[in-house]
């Protein structure tokens, strides 16, 4: 099947063509006809499967044909709201269809003004949207289609009650679409409450819930303050073509990107606060290989399909096992080998255990040499003996006179460092705890967890 088979309005078809869409993904093949027919829909599909176009294209088509005037998409995060709004704008811009991302942390004025002026598609986070409805600021906005995107993430983030309240302000005679990667009971209950006789579709295969066996997975148990040091050491030692580093927050992305660039790495950060044109340029350069290391949040990396990513690094382990699957699935594609390396502290043992159990991840505990030398007493005695055995050259006074402008302590330290490195004194320190140490740490962690649970029960 091809996108031309949907017979979209010429303006929408032009947006699809310029976006480079040729063949619809499974979720698009199944969802688009149902949404076009006005049917309520519950769709299960992971991120990166083309969900935005699956609900966005039929919405744009209905607006272009005059079947509806307005639509609302509710997303869990600001980054996703911005991403979805941008994608819908680019697909519908030739039809003059306007979109707006609505979220907290910025002023109300512009958002309210644009909604009341007749923006056709609003993509909003639950908190800001509920606030606007409660205060009567957007009474004129009555969407005929409402989409709940990433519903399970809204559940995890505690937004379900806000979502239910928002629907009190939305007309009953609407079409409602719910998209979710997983279907826990609260999401099924939400669908029963808000949707009318919905169709259910799923494009989640059993193998999507597990990790690719072409990907070699390993993890380091480290101290919190070692994260930057370990990433730098790994990037120095690993032979990567393109590397993708996942961080939990935008601040972490910025901080790590600056740190890696200062160390001489060809790296850039990517998150929702970066200007859209710059984001597009960064992704384009990463795709072409002009940027070799991309540091990103989960949301910013959604929808990225980049060839030749050989390494994925988890600066922090993700909370959700499926997020781990999606992260490391960026490598090991098209039958190629890949590496996924995760940094973990003792406080993150719970997440590590969940990932190992739920997705069947075979993760190998690893350590790495820091490149720093540790000297013991025997080494120091050997260095002393070595210095005593060395002869003083006759012309050394001339050398000392020539080097008189240099700091003598610095000269001494550098010469001693040269001797230590040349004679291979000392042993390289390692980063990451060995298996025996990790076993002890894990036992202590389990004990602490039991104590916490016991205290909760007493309360």
Q: Is 354 exposed, middle or buried (0-12, 13-18, 19+ CB in 10 A)?
A: middle
In whole angstroms, give the CA distance from residue 161 to residue 12: 35
Beta-sheet pairing, 175-180 with 243-246 = unpaired
Query: Which pLDDT score is estimated for 31?
Result: 96
* Tokens encoding 319: 């909370």
What span, in angstroms and rounded, lies between the C-alpha atoms of 52 and 73? 10
Beta bridge partners of 363: 217
Q: In 289-376, which ranges are continuous DSSP H helix?
A: 298-301, 321-328, 349-359
CB 60 within 8 A of CB 197: no
Cα gap 123→129, rounded to integer Å: 9
pLDDT tens for the chain, 459 residues long, are: 899 999 999 999 999 999 888 899 899 999 999 999 999 999 998 666 788 999 999 999 999 999 999 999 999 887 788 889 999 999 999 999 999 999 987 888 999 999 999 999 999 999 999 999 999 999 889 999 999 998 987 887 788 999 999 999 999 999 999 998 878 889 999 999 999 999 999 986 544 445 556 789 999 998 888 899 899 989 988 999 999 999 988 899 999 999 999 999 999 999 878 887 888 899 889 989 999 999 998 766 765 667 889 999 999 988 777 778 878 888 887 678 899 999 998 888 878 887 887 777 788 898 877 666 666 677 788 888 888 988 899 888 888 888 888 888 888 888 888 887 777 666 556 778 888 888 888 788 778 777 876 776 666
What is 3-204's CATH topology?
Rossmann fold (3.40.50)
Residue 338's DSSP bridge partners are 215
Which of 167, 102, 101 is closest to 129 using CA atoms? 102
Alpha carbons 288 and 284: distance in angstroms, whole number: 6
The C-alpha atoms of residue 143 and residue 118 are separated, in whole angstroms, by 11
Residue 336's closest CA among 311, 358, 362?
Answer: 311
Give the pLDDT of residue 371.
62
Long-range contacts of 114-118 (CB under 8 A, 24+ apart): 115/140, 115/141, 116/140, 116/141
Give just the sign of the alpha carbon dihedral 331, 335, 337, 340. positive
Q: Which CATH architecture has domain 209-368?
A: 3-Layer(aba) Sandwich (3.40)
Closest C-alpha among 117, 47, 53 to residue 87 = 53
Structure tokens at 260: 């890696």
234: CB partners within 8 A, 6+ apart: 313, 341, 368
For the entire predicted model, the pTM comes to 0.57
Q: In a 3-state reduction of DSSP, which class is residue 160?
A: helix
Report d(CA 459, CA 312) in Å as an integer.
Answer: 43
Please, which residues have CB within 8 angstroms of residue 291's CB and are 6 or more apart in sequence? 266, 267, 268, 282, 285
* Cβ atoms of residues 102 and 124 within 8 Å: yes
* Model pLDDT, residue 105: 78
Residue 56 neighbours by CB distance under 10 Å: 28
Tokens (6 digits) for 22:
């040729």
Query: How far is the C-alpha of 338 from the C-alpha of 367, rounded, in Å?
Result: 19
- Give the whole-angstrom CA distance, residue 264 versus residue 253: 17
Quote the longest CA-to-CA distance of the chain: 99
* Every domain range in the chain assigned CATH 3.40.50.300: 3-204, 209-368
Would you say 341 and 363 are in contact if contact means Cβ atoms under 8 Å apart?
no
């Amino acid at each position: 099947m091809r996108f031309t088979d949907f017979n979209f309005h010429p303006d929408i078809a032009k947006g699809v063509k310029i976006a480079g869409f040729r063949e619809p993904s499974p979720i698009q093949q199944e969802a688009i006809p149902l949404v076009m027919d006005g049917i309520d829909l519950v769709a299960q599909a992971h991120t990166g499967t083309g969900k935005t176009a699956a609900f966005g294209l039929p919405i744009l088509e209905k607006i272009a044909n005059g079947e509806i005037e307005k639509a609302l998409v509710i997303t869990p995060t600001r980054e996703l709201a911005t991403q979805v709004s941008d994608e819908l704008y680019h697909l519908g811009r030739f039809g003059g269809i306007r979109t707006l991302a609505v979220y907290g942390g910025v002023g109300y004025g512009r958002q309210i003004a644009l909604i009341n002026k007749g923006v056709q598609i609003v993509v909003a986070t639950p908190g800001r949207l509920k606030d606007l409805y409660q205060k009567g600021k957007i009474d004129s906005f009555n969407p005929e289609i409402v989409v709940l995107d990433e519903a399970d993430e809204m559940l995890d983030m505690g937004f379900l009650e806000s979502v239910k309240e928002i629907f009190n302000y939305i007309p009953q005679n609407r079409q409602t679409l719910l998209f979710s990667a997983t279907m826990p009971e609260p999401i099924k209950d939400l669908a029963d409450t808000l949707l009318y006789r919905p169709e259910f579709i799923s494009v989640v295969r059993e193998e999507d819930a597990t990790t690719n066996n072409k990907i070699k997975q390993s993890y380091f148990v480290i101290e919190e303050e070692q994260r930057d040091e370990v990433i730098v050491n790994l990037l120095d030692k690993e032979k990567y073509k393109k590397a993708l580093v996942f961080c939990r927050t935008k601040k972490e992305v910025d901080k790590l990107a600056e740190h890696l660039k200062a160390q001489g790495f060809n790296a850039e950060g990517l998150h929702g606060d970066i200007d859209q044109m710059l984001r597009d340029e960064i992704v384009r350069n990463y795709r072409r290989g002009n940027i070799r290391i991309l540091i990103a949040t989960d949301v910013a990396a959604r929808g990225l399909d980049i060839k030749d990513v050989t390494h994925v690094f988890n600066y922090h382990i993700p909370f959700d096992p499926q997020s781990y699957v999606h992260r490391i699935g960026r490598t090991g594609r098209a039958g190629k080998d890949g590496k996924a390396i995760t940094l973990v502290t003792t406080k993150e043992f719970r997440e590590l255990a969940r990932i190992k159990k739920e997705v069947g991840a075979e993760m190998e505990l690893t350590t790495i040499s820091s490149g720093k030398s540790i000297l013991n007493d025997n080494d120091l005695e050997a260095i002393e003996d070595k210095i005593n055995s060395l002869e003083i050259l006759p012309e050394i006074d001339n050398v000392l006179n020539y080097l008189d402008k240099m700091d003598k302590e610095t000269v001494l330290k550098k010469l001693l460092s040269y001797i230590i490195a040349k004679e291979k004194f000392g042993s390289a320190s390692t980063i990451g705890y060995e298996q025996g140490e990790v076993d002890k740490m894990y036992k202590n962690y389990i004990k602490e967890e039991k104590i916490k649970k016991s205290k909760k029960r007493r309360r």
